[in-house]
Amino acid sequence: MVALSGGVDSAVAAYLLKEKGYDVVGVTMCLGVASQDTGKIKCCGPREIEDAKAVCRALSMSHYVLDFAPELQNFVIEPFIREYRLGRTPNPCVECNRRIKFGALLEKALSMGFDLLATGHYADVEKSEGGCLLKVSNDSRKDQTYFLSRISRQSLTHVVFPLAGFTKDQVRAVAKRENLPVSSKPDSQDICFIPVKGVGEFLKESIDELPGDIVDRKGKVIGRHKGISFYTIGQRAGLGISAGRPQYVLSLDVHLNRIVVGDRKFLSAKGLLADSLNILVDDLPEKACGKIRYAHSAAPCTITLENEAMTVIFDKPQEAITPGQTIVLYDKGIVLASGIIKNVIS
């Protein structure tokens, strides 16, 4: 089973599998219905489904649409809202991969008699008698192992990433050469269930946002915020304050409904405590490189495990470590483990 999103990456993944002689069936996950009233679009919308169907026709494959809207609501959207209520900044794409694509969809594929589930992610799985390893893709610019780091090691035994050895440019070239219907379709960058107006507008429907104080590190009130969910650690723009020099969000105080801001230097911290661990290797080393968000370079660090939690201390302080985000550990292109950032260690 190949998961077809209606985009070029999954289309080329399906083509490559067919070329290798696999018996391939395309499946598109329906995660909700587009609404012109609210501006919400839960992937895949009508256009994505039609594009996926066109790909399957071009490749002489069967195509099915499976409804996973309840799973999206229960496992992704509701936890997303809960995290923001707690003043944390979650990563819904990480949880979608863990709970839906490589959770519910994988279980469905196996129950239907399929041997493998394939997607168009830029990542690699190395399989051996000792188990599976999740590895970075050939295109470092597009590597998506950060978003895949919460998949269980057992699930990886049933997963294949056909684009592992390809760059994005090469994928586009294959799509164009084979005249695939989506060869010129642009990439999708946004969270699928968030309206075009952004996270804040989405959360307005679920969280009673109240204005509150913006304070400096000493507690002095220097402005007003429009609701904590509209802000994230490290944010500079949109604070509506004048302090004579740039100010950044340092922390979100949910209990007092206030935002603490300060100079950029105060964003740096030496480490973090993470829980909800997902360890993908037999033995976790003491030293590795940790990535605190997707658009971040992995930085050398020291790891300590204790009581199902993980302390990560970086060789050099890192900026804007954010509770709720995912920390991913790497070593020589192998994903070692991941966890959810619980606390920042100053």
| Confidence band of 156 (pLDDT split at 50, 70, 90) | very high
> pLDDT tens digit string along 160-181?
999 999 999 999 999 999 999 9
Got the DSSP string for 127-184? Answer: EETTEEEEE--S-TTT--HHHHTTS-HHHHTTEE-TTTT--HHHHHHHHHHTT-TTTT
Q: What is the mean pLDDT of residues 4-14?
A: 95
> Catalytic site residue 289?
no
> Catalytic site residue 192?
yes
Instruction: Check 93, 96, 132, 301 and give the catalytic one.
Output: 96
> pLDDT tens digit string along 229-242?
889 999 998 898 98
Name which of 39-43, 131-135, 204-208, 224-228 the model is least confident about.
39-43
Asked whether residue 30 carries a pLDDT value surpassing 90, the answer given is no
Residue 189 CA to residue 43 CA, distance in Å, equals: 12
How much is the pLDDT for 37? 44
Residue 88 CA to residue 209 CA, distance in Å, equals: 15
What's the mean per-residue pLDDT of the chain? 91
> pLDDT tens digit string along 87-101?
899 999 999 999 999
| Confidence band of 325 (pLDDT split at 50, 70, 90) | very high
Q: What is the mean pLDDT of residues 6-22?
A: 96
CATH numbers and ranges of domains, the chain: 2-177 (3.40.50.620), 209-262 (2.30.30.280), 268-345 (2.40.30.10)
How much is the pLDDT for 39? 46
Considering the entire predicted model, what is its pTM? 0.92
Residue 244 CA to residue 246 CA, distance in Å, equals: 7
Residue 223 CA to residue 226 CA, distance in Å, equals: 10
Taking alpha carbons only, the member of 5, 337, 336, 12 closest to residue 162 is 12
Higher pLDDT, 209 or 281: 281
Task: Decide if 329 contacts 336 (C-beta within 8 A).
Answer: yes
Taking alpha carbons only, the member of 139, 296, 342 closest to residue 329 is 296
How much is the pLDDT for 207? 83
Facing residues of 340 across strands?
Answer: 275, 326
Asked whether residue 41 carries a pLDDT value surpassing 50, the answer given is no
